[in-house]
Amino acid sequence: MPICWTLEKMPERYPLPELLAPAGSPAALRAAIAAGADAVYFGGGSFNARMRAKNFTDEDVADAIALCHAYGVKVYMTFNTLVTDRELPLFLEAAHKAYTAGVDALIVADLGAAELLHRLLPALPLHASTQCSIHNSDGAREMARRGFCRVVPARELSRENIADMVQKSGTEVEIFIHGALCVSHSGQCLFSSLVGGRSGNRGECAQPCRLPDAKGRYPLSLKDLCLARKIPFLIEAGVHSLKIEGRLKSPSYVYQVVSIYRRLLDERRAATDAEVAALAAAFSRSGFTDGYFSGRINHRMMGVRTEADKQTVCELDEALLQPSPIPLDISFEMCAKTPIRLTVSDAKRTVTLTGDAPLEALNAPMDGEAVKKNLCRLGGTPYTVGTVAITVGPGLMVPVSRLNALRREALRRLTAPDRPQVELVNLAAPRLDKGQSAALSARFTAAAQITPLAQEQFPLRYLPLHAFDGAVANGVEIPPVILEDEREAALAALREAQRRGAKHALIGNVGHLILATEAGLIPHGDFRLNLTNSASLSSVLSQGFADALLSAELTLPQIRDIGGRRDAIVYGRVPLMLLEKCAGREVGDCATCKAGQAALVDRRGERFPIRCLPTQYGERHRNILYNSRPTVMSDRRRELLGAGISKGHFIFSVESAAEVDRVIRAYQKGLSLGDKVRRI
C-alpha cells in the first residue's frame, strides 16, 4: 500500500495528477483558469446533471473551449444524465457540436448513449460519470471495455479501495476531493424523482436530503468532502485526476478552492490547519469530512449549512478572478511578388499563415507602423502583445481587411481542435421488436414472505444474497455495492447460493456481471442499471443479460417508446436511496436499525422505511431507504399492456406474508390497493 505522507514535501518521482475544476458559468470558468486549474468541466443547456447551474449556451461553448485551450486548460463537458428514446437525436446533436468546438472529453452516464457516441464520434474520449455507480475494479474494467478512457468512481470508496482501483482497473481514475457529498450512492438516488417529480439522474435534483425531518433533525445531510490533507497519498497512489465539486458555486468560491489545491499539488504536500480553515471560509457545512476515505463512517460526517458558516464567506474582487493575458509574439513579412506571411506564437504553440502577394501602392504605400497597428488589435481575446517583428518592403500595400482576416484566422488556429471533422448522421437507436422474454418476477427481503401463493405466482423469486433460501427462492439479488475488499467474500457466497439451488442472479451494476458468470448464475438486469432507452437496454442484453428491468423513473409513454416486450416494476416500494452511511442510526438507534424498524418521517408525516443491507463483513452494513408509498398498477392492466408490459416485477420489502398474498390476489383480480399509492 502507498505510504500516507503527511506535511513534509514528498518525492517528485510521482507525476502530479490533473486538477479538475467546476465551471458552472463563464465567470466561474475564468476564475478556475486564473486559479491554476489543469482542466475544467461544465454543462451545456441540456443533458447535464446540474441543470440549475447557469451553464453554457451553444454560442458560449465554442468561445469557452477556445479560451481554455489558449491557456492550455482541458475542457470536459457533462453529458451525464439519463436519456429517453425521443431525446437521443438531440443528445447526439449536442455532443457533435461539442466535438466540433474542440471539447477534450465528454462525461457520460447513459450506457446506450455512450455506445451511440462511440459509433458517431470514435475519436472523442468518454469519461464514465460517477452516476455510473462504479465502485470496484471489475466495474472500471467493464467501462474500459465499453470504450471509456476514464472512470469517476463512487465517492464512498476508502483510500485502500481507491489505490486498488488505480492499480487494477487499467484505465484512468478520477476522484472527487472537495465539495458537496450526496448521501446516496450517485446514480442510485430516486428520492427527488419519485417523491418530488424532479429527477437527480436528469439534472434536476431538489435535494430532499438537505431538508429536516418531522423532528427538525437533518438525518441525511452530510458535511462537504475535503481531502486537502490527503494530497501526498493521492499523488503516490497514481490517481489521474482530482476533481472539485461546485458547479452551483460562485466564481469566488471556485478561485479560492482551486488556488489552494493548486498550491498543495505544486508543493506536493498536505494542507495546513490554516489552509483547511480557508477552504471552510469559502464554503462548508459545519466543517468537512473524509469519513468514506478514512473508513470512519459515523455521525461526525453529518452537517448542515449554518448561519455561522454563511458569515465566513468572503467574496473576492472581480479583478482577481480574471486570468492574466497571454503574451503573443507577432512576426510579419511583406515583400514584393511574395505571399505575405504572418506568424503568431504563445508559450506553447506557433501558427504561420500566408496570404496573397502584396500590391504595388499607387499613392500611399503601407509602412510597418500601419501593419503593426492592425495586427496588434487583440481586444476581446486572451492575448496581449509580446514581441513584434514587422518587415515591409518599399512601395507595397495590402488591403486592411486582408490583414484583419489573417490575424483572426491565426488566432483561431492557435486554439482550434486538432482532430478529424465528422458529419452528423442519423444514428437510430436499436429497435427491440422482438425484445426480451421477461418472466413474472418478484424480490423479497425474507424467506418468510415467499408464501405458497407467491411460489405459484412468480416463476422468478429473488432473495438477497445474505438471506438466500433455496427452499423457496430460485434467484439471488446480488448486493448493489460490492467494494474491492468485499469481492471474494461475495463471490464465495454466490457460489454457495448456487450450490443451494440458486439459478438466477438479479444484477444492478455492470461490474457484477462477471461475478454472476463465475458463480454459474443466469444474469438478469435490475432497475439500478438505469435503463431509460432502447440503446441502453440493447447494450446490456447484448452483454449476456437474459432480460432487464427498465428504470423506475420512466413513464408509460417512455416505456412504450423503447419497443419490444418491456419489463418494469409494477408493484412495490421502490428503493429511493442506497446509503453507505447508516441512516437508521440517525433516526433512531442501532437496535432499531438492526430490527428493521427504522424509518425517516418527513415534515408531511410520510414514513420512509430504512432497512439494513448486510455485507459479508460482520457488523458492517449499508442502508436502503424505501419509498413511503408503493408503486401500484394492479388496477391499471390495460395501461400496462398499452406500454408493452405484459408481466412485470414486484418488490416486497416491509410486507408481511399475509400482505404479500393480498397484493397478489389484487393483481390477479385487477383490484385497487388503496389511495396512498404511486402510479407509473
pLDDT at 470 over 70: yes
d(CA 273, CA 233): 18
For the stretch 98-136, pLDDT in tens is: 999 999 999 999 999 999 999 999 999 999 999 999 999
Distance CA 295, CA 230 (A): 14
Ranges of beta strands (E only) in 203-348 are 224-226, 241-244, 288-289, 326-334, 341-345
Reading the block at residue 187, the C-alpha cell is: 446514480
> What order of strands is seen across the sheet that includes strand 460-464?
522-525, 504-507, 475-477, 460-464, 441-443, 649-651, 569-572, 631-632
- Per residue in 565-615, pLDDT (tens digit) is 789 999 999 999 999 999 999 999 888 888 889 999 999 999 999 999 988
pLDDT for res 629: 97
Asked whether the beta carbons of 610 and 625 are under 8 A apart, the reply is yes
Q: Which region among 3-17, 144-158, 207-221 has the lowest average model confidence (pLDDT)?
A: 3-17
pLDDT, residue 364, reads 85
Question: Looking at the predicted structure, is the pLDDT value of residue 620 above 50?
Answer: yes
Confidence bin at 666 (pLDDT 50/70/90): very high
Q: Mean pLDDT over residues 547-551, rounded?
A: 96
- Which part of the chain is CATH 3.20.20.60? 441-572+630-669
pLDDT tens figures, 152-192: 999 999 999 999 999 999 899 999 999 999 999 999 999 99
Does the pLDDT value for residue 30 go beyond 80? yes
Residue 51 pLDDT greater than 70, yes or no: no
Does an H or E element contain 523, and which? strand 522-525
Could you tell me which residue, 196 or 417, shows the higher pLDDT?
196
**Sign of the CA dihedral with 655 first, then 656, 659, and 663 last:** positive
Sequence ranges of the chain with CATH classification 3.20.20.70: 18-181+222-320
Q: Helices 111-120 and 534-542 meet at what angle, rounded to 10?
A: 90
Identify any residues that bridge with 507 across adjacent strands, giving them in sequence order.
Answer: 525
User: What fold does the segment set 18-181+222-320 form as a domain?
Assistant: TIM Barrel (3.20.20)
- In this predicted structure, what is the pLDDT of residue 485? 92
pLDDT at residue number 540: 93
Q: Do the bridges between strand 74-79 and strand 39-43 make them parallel or antiparallel, or are there none, so unpaired? A: parallel
Reference 630, options 646, 650, 648; nearest CA is 650
More confident residue, 496 or 435: 496
Query: Over 50: is that where the pLDDT of 6 sits?
Result: no
- Dihedral-angle region of residue 420 (phi above 0 means left; psi in -120 to 50 means alpha; beta otherwise): beta
CATH number of the domain at 441-572+630-669, please? 3.20.20.60
Q: Which runs of consecutive H residues, i.e. helices, occur in 521-583?
A: 534-542, 556-562
